[in-house]
Structure 1
Amino acid sequence: MVVLSNGLRCLSICALVLACQRGSLFAAVRIKDRDRQQILIHITDPQLGMLNMYKKPEDWKAEETMLSKLAAKAASFKPNLVFVGGDMQNWWPNEEARQAKGLSDRNRLKGMGDKEFQQLKDKGLGRMQRDSVQKSLEVLVNAKIPVYYTAGNHDVGDYPDARTLEQYSSSDSKNPGWGPLFQKVEEDGILYLQFNSQIYWSNEASLDEYRSKQLDFLEGEMSRIQALQSIKRLVLLTHIPPFMDSVDEQEGWANWKEAYRKQILDVLAGPNIPMLWVCGHFHANVEKDSDYQGVPLSIRVSSAAGTTMQWDGKDELSPKEAQEVASKEILKAFAEDIGFTRIGERLKAESDRSGLRIFKMLGDSGSFEDQWFTLDQLQEEASSWLAS
């Protein structure tokens, strides 16, 4: 990967696209041959700092504890790969883009003066949160388990720009990012595609060239596997789900813009290979099995490794229930489906709520099984399920 130096902070999106062509934002990797069954573990939304962001913004101990324990358990299962599904940090990286639209800076505590807020920003909480996540996941790296990441809205911003995309993919050892913004992992009949879903939530024109480059990547992979005819399952790894229940559902805080859903799904459905979408962002569990243009399509939205959210008091929602929440503006969803007076009970980072999802993938048939486990359930229930 090309190292993007601090001197390139004013890169245009066009320049980022050129960098992508040269290999800085794309990587193709393979995982080591194992048995025909592959184990994929999905850990998403550690989002260190979310729980106390408006009370004690420098305190993310509860979320860090959950993540560290989940990573240790994940390592003990010796998976083929671990997918960390975005929102590694909570500190918003580019609120300037929102302020340009007349919106407030969400990192600022209510009643905080300019001087006090500047002092808080100078502490670099985003960098500190990234460091904490990387430290928590060292157990996987040390066990030589491949770990792949995807960009969440807290990692590149609601409206990504050149600076946040550069930071995300940076390999600067002094301020490292997370890796390629899109990549593939191919093994034993399964093609895993990790790509940046934030550009399908934001429809900013400044991202058009980047969207075009990512589209070229996806189209190229579909053409390649259609010719090979050896892939039995596509596994799409993104932060935000394209939709919860219906491809035509209303756009909101937790799904894609409708035009991008159909554009990307049309491409992915081309080879007529069953699709499994693995995503997060919602901080609660949702499972949807359907089809798109006759191609089997399963969506698995995993709850959080950090602070979970009980929409309407539930840890798991039906696709229809999730669609109703996801299609709203976020503040309206909070007001109506969390309740500001219920935040203390409905947002928690605790061992009976925080967890991860495990997939058993069969490359020869393309079939899969999956289950969500809280940290409390991982000790015995997950081991028994994996052995079954």
Structure 2
Amino acid sequence: MSEDQEVFLRARGRTFNFFRADEESEWKGAFYFIQGADPQLGLMKSWRLGNCDFGGDEWEDEIRLTEEAVEAINKLDPKPKFFVLCGDLVHSMPGTEWKQAQERDLKCALLKTNQDIPLVFVSGNHDIGNAPTSETVQDFSNNWGDDYFSFWVGGVFFLVLNSQLFFDASKCPQLKKNQDKWLADQLSVAQQQQCKRVIIFQHIPLFLQKPDEENNYFNLERSVRQELLQMFHKAGVKAVFSGHYHRNAGGTYKDLDMVVTSAIGCQIGEDEHGLRVVVVTEKQIVHRYYSLDQLKNQGLDQDIIDLIKK
């Protein structure tokens, strides 16, 4: 494997190899990371044509936006601990015509990220299919690393989940069982170690605004959602960050924040192409959505910098 490709495959053995648990499991002070979602190479043309199943044969706009995101991140001072992409890396579904070319071009754009800012990848429905199979999940893992894993940074415990297994695991029931068992074990670790914070990344939001909202394409089915919310709250999870909606949204369940971040790529609401800055302090998690232009040209707001330096 070339050194270039290794930056995409740091999630191995259900952990993230850039950070060592023995060095990162204790609180060391405030830090921040960058969350992005849905670069989804190929969707913008499909959306313009009104046909999201076809027409994704051009993705120059998404490459330009991804490069702008990378440029903005590279300029930040101090540097973020990591850059997480919460799914739908490309638009083409598994096994379709343009998927490999889209993934290749996305990797070329992401390789420009400062080598001190590791890339964390989350699987989305366009990455592994609306109803994933063992083959589509394995293909994702071969290209982007494990589909679910955990890691520590600065005393904070992070979990990356494959939310498609919560949405439709009809073609891979054993994979869902495996993740469910692993997740229960990880949440038990979080409880036992009384982590300073537990944060989850997944593609599909648990909910968009309210925990009891109706089921729709952009959230998880209500019974699944309620079970996960109860598990997460019991284990001390403070925030779940997701994408999928291509708009900013979110709400709360007890003291758990559900944060839905709009897209780097195609916007289907009124938001601008952007990224979310997330600051973790000893007492709180503070997050703010920036347009790519704003982050690139103005950088972090002073109040955000002050939080990081406390």
Q: Could you tell me whether the CA contact under 8 Å between 2:86 and 2:124 is conserved in 1?
A: yes
Q: CA deviation at 1:139?
A: 2.0
State how far apart, in whole Å, the 2-side matches of 1:24 and 1:368 are.
27
- TM normalised by structure 1 equals 0.68
Unmatched segments (≥5 aa) in structure 1 = 1-22, 95-120, 171-176, 316-352
- TM normalised by structure 2 equals 0.84
Q: CA deviation at 1:381?
A: 5.1
Cα deviation, 1:175-223, whole Å, max 9, x if unaligned, reads xx1111111121233111001001112152x332211111111111122
Name the counterpart of 1:169: 141
Q: Could you tell me whether the CA contact under 8 Å between 1:150 and 1:195 is conserved in 2?
A: yes
CA RMSD of aligned residues (A): 2.3
Find out whether 1:125 has 2:118 as its counterpart: no
**Which of residues 206, 214, 224 in structure 2 aligns to 1:250?**
214
- Helix, strand or coil: the match of 2:302? helix
Q: CA deviation at 1:274?
A: 4.4
Count of matched residue positions in the alignment of Structure 1 and Structure 2: 283
Name the counterpart of 1:232: 196
Q: Percent identity?
A: 23
Q: CA deviation at 1:249?
A: 2.2
**Which of residues 159, 165, 185 in structure 2 aligns to 1:193?**
159
1:1-388 to 2 correspondences below 5 Å: 26-29=14-17, 30=19, 36-53=29-46, 57-77=56-76, 78-93=79-94, 124-140=97-113, 142-170=114-142, 177-204=143-170, 206-229=171-194, 231-271=195-235, 273-291=236-254, 296-310=255-269, 314-315=270-271, 353-362=272-281, 364-365=282-283, 367-378=284-295, 379-380=297-298, 382-388=300-306
Q: CA deviation at 1:35?
A: 5.6
Unmatched segments (≥5 aa) in structure 2 = 1-10, 50-54
Counterpart residue identity of residue 275, structure 1: K
- Helix, strand or coil: the match of 2:172? helix
- Determine which structure has more spread, i.e. the larger CA radius of gyration: 1
Task: Decide which moves more: 44-53 or 70-79.
Answer: 70-79
State how far apart, in whole Å, the 2-side matches of 1:210 and 1:155 are.
16
State how far apart, in whole Å, the 1-side matches of 2:100 and 2:59 are.
13
Q: Could you tell me whether the CA contact under 8 Å between 1:41 and 1:83 is conserved in 2?
A: yes
Q: CA deviation at 1:360?
A: 0.7
User: Residues 80, 137 of structure 1: CA spacing in aligned structure 2 closer, same or farther, 3 A cutoff?
Assistant: same
- Helix, strand or coil: the match of 1:42? strand
Q: Could you tell me whether the CA contact under 8 Å between 2:12 and 2:146 is conserved in 1?
A: yes
Q: Could you tell me whether the CA contact under 8 Å between 1:25 and 1:181 is conserved in 2?
A: no
Name the counterpart of 1:102: none
User: Residues 27, 371 of structure 1: CA spacing in aligned structure 2 closer, same or farther, 3 A cutoff?
Assistant: same
State how far apart, in whole Å, the 2-side matches of 1:134 and 1:37 are.
30
- Helix, strand or coil: the match of 2:204? coil
Q: Could you tell me whether the CA contact under 8 Å between 1:45 and 1:283 is conserved in 2?
A: yes
- Helix, strand or coil: the match of 2:87? coil
State how far apart, in whole Å, the 1-side matches of 2:40 and 2:303 are.
28
Task: Decide which moves more: 258-267 or 58-67.
Answer: 258-267
